[in-house]
């Protein structure tokens, strides 16, 4: 069984040589020396590796390693999903995500490590923040999402996550789950949540049996990232010759394609930015889908699925609260998604 990296001390020339040989990259050479700069994200320890070799080789001089923290600060989905993504999905997806050289998951420890392509020479990252991307970078993100979604359009890898197209039993389970969560969330908030917004939750929950019938139809189901924000994208240093790369796939799902766009714009953008860019970006996305050969998905269908996705994102702050995220995160998300719900007149969907 492949070795699970749980400490920076394990990043040795011997370990790295073994991994690169399995990938057929060394051609008789070996790793002579490896150094790194380490960092920390919300859930992982990271290291940018700098590698020198015993002789000439085409193996990469830089790689990026991420592995699970000893203790996660919040409750998270099983990190084995990200390993499954790189092993069974990424290889059949456009090259808008890092190449993976090693992916190991321990179900006993619920820990992972990933050894990935390092884009540092050509791309930069923005710290996760409340700032939206620039308009040009927004356009590049939308193009990238359309390309990824198109690759799996209506033929998603259900088996990779052990799910299938929702049936009525699954729809009923989801409705019960979200109803219980919203009940706990609104009780916790007390008078910090206005009666107007309580009424929105009541109306939406009552309409879910009708709204969620859409989820039982296969149109527009594909691989989605489900956490698109400024910190999960790498931006090209030269946007005239290169494009973005999408990273951090631990929350990937099979779902309606517009869900990614709703997450990016309705959850993370304040009204002025969203109102200015929302429709132009959605139209750009739709045009890109059509260019990629997606047929029989009209602008009207996209617009309705996007609004439904915004409505479903009303439940996201409650999930973040329940799983231990900081209020500075989910409280702002709640404000923005409620505003989007009203701006887009999502209540007219039911």
Residue-wise pLDDT tens digits, 23-77: 999 988 999 999 999 998 878 999 999 999 999 999 999 999 999 998 865 555 5
Domains 8-121 and 125-349 share a fold: no
Closest CA to 333 of 302, 310, 305: 310
Which residue did the predictor score with more confidence, 314 or 133? 314
Which residue did the predictor score with more confidence, 81 or 149? 149
Q: What is the pLDDT of residues 99-154, one digit of tens each?
A: 999 999 998 888 999 999 999 999 999 876 667 889 999 999 999 999 999 999 99
Angstrom distance (rounded) from CA 333 to CA 339: 10
Angstrom distance (rounded) from CA 73 to CA 61: 33
Beta-bridged to residue 59, according to DSSP, are none
Task: Give residue 204's pLDDT band: very low, low, confident or very high (50, 70, 90).
Answer: very high
The phi, psi pair for 63, rounded to 5°, reads -140, 165
pLDDT at 95 over 70: yes
Cβ contacts of residue 2 below 8 Å, gap of 6+? 102, 104
Instruction: Give the whole-number percent of the chain exceeding pLDDT 70.
Output: 97
At residue 78, the pLDDT reads 59
Burial 301-324, CB ≥16 within 10 A → b, else e:
ebbbbbbbbbbbbbbbbbebbbee
At residue 76, the pLDDT reads 57
At residue 110, the pLDDT reads 87
- From the candidate CATH numbers 3.90.1200.10, 3.40.50.12780, 3.30.43.10, 3.30.470.20, the one assigned to the domain spanning 125-349: 3.90.1200.10
pTM of the model: 0.94
pLDDT at 221 over 90: yes
At residue 1, the pLDDT reads 61
**Arithmetic mean of pLDDT, 172-180:** 98
Query: Distance between terminal CA atoms of the chain?
Result: 52
CB 144: neighbour CB atoms within 10 A?
21
At residue 161, the pLDDT reads 86
pLDDT at 7 over 70: yes
In this predicted structure, which of 13-27, 68-82, 175-189 has the lowest mean pLDDT? 68-82
At residue 162, the pLDDT reads 87
What's the mean per-residue pLDDT of the chain?
Answer: 94
What is the CATH topology of the domain spanning 8-121?
Answer: Phosphorylase Kinase; domain 1 (3.30.200)
Domain ranges of the chain: 8-121, 125-349
CA 337, distance to chain mean position in Å, is 18
pLDDT at 291 over 60: yes
Q: What is the pLDDT of residues 251-290, one digit of tens each?
A: 999 999 999 999 999 999 999 999 999 999 999 999 999 9
Q: What is the pLDDT of residues 234-253, one digit of tens each?
A: 999 998 899 999 999 999 99
In this predicted structure, which of 1-5, 178-182, 254-258, 284-288 has the lowest mean pLDDT? 1-5
Cβ contacts of residue 182 below 8 Å, gap of 6+? 201, 205, 315, 318
């Amino acid at each position: 069984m492949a070795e699970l990296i749980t400490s920076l001390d394990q990043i040795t020339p011997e370990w790295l040589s073994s991994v690169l040989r399995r990938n057929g990259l060394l051609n008789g050479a070996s790793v002579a020396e490896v150094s790194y700069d380490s960092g920390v994200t919300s859930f992982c320890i990271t290291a940018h590796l700098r590698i020198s070799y015993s002789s000439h080789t085409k193996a990469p001089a830089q790689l990026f390693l991420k592995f699970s923290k000893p203790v996660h600060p919040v409750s998270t989905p099983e990190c084995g999903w990200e390993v499954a993504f790189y092993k069974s999905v990424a290889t059949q997806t456009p090259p808008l995500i890092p190449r993976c050289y090693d992916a190991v998951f321990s179900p006993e420890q619920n820990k992972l490590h990933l050894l990935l392509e390092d884009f540092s020479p050509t791309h930069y990252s923005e710290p996760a923040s409340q700032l939206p991307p620039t308009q040009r970078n927004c356009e590049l993100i939308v193009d990238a999402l359309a390309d990824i979604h198109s690759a799996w359009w209506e033929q998603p890898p259900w088996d990779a996550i052990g799910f299938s197209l929702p049936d009525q039993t699954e729809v009923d389970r989801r409705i019960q789950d979200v109803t219980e969560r919203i009940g706990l969330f609104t009780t916790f908030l007390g008078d910090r949540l206005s009666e107007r917004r309580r009424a929105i939750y009541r109306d939406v929950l009552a309409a879910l049996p009708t709204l969620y019938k859409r989820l039982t139809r296969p149109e527009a189901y594909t691989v989605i990232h489900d956490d698109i924000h400024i910190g999960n994208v790498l931006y090209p240093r030269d946007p005239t010759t290169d494009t973005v790369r999408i990273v951090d796939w631990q929350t990937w799902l099979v779902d309606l394609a517009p869900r990614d766009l709703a997450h990016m714009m309705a959850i993370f953008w304040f009204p002025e930015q969203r109102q200015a860019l929302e429709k132009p970006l959605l139209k750009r996305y739709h045009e890109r889908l059509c260019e990629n050969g997606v047929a029989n998905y009209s602008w009207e269908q996209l617009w309705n699925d996007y609004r439904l996705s915004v409505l479903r994102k009303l439940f996201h702050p409650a999930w973040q609260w329940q799983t231990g995220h900081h209020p500075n995160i989910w409280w702002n998300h709640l404000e923005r998604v409620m505003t989007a719900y009203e701006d887009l007149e999502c209540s007219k969907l039911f």
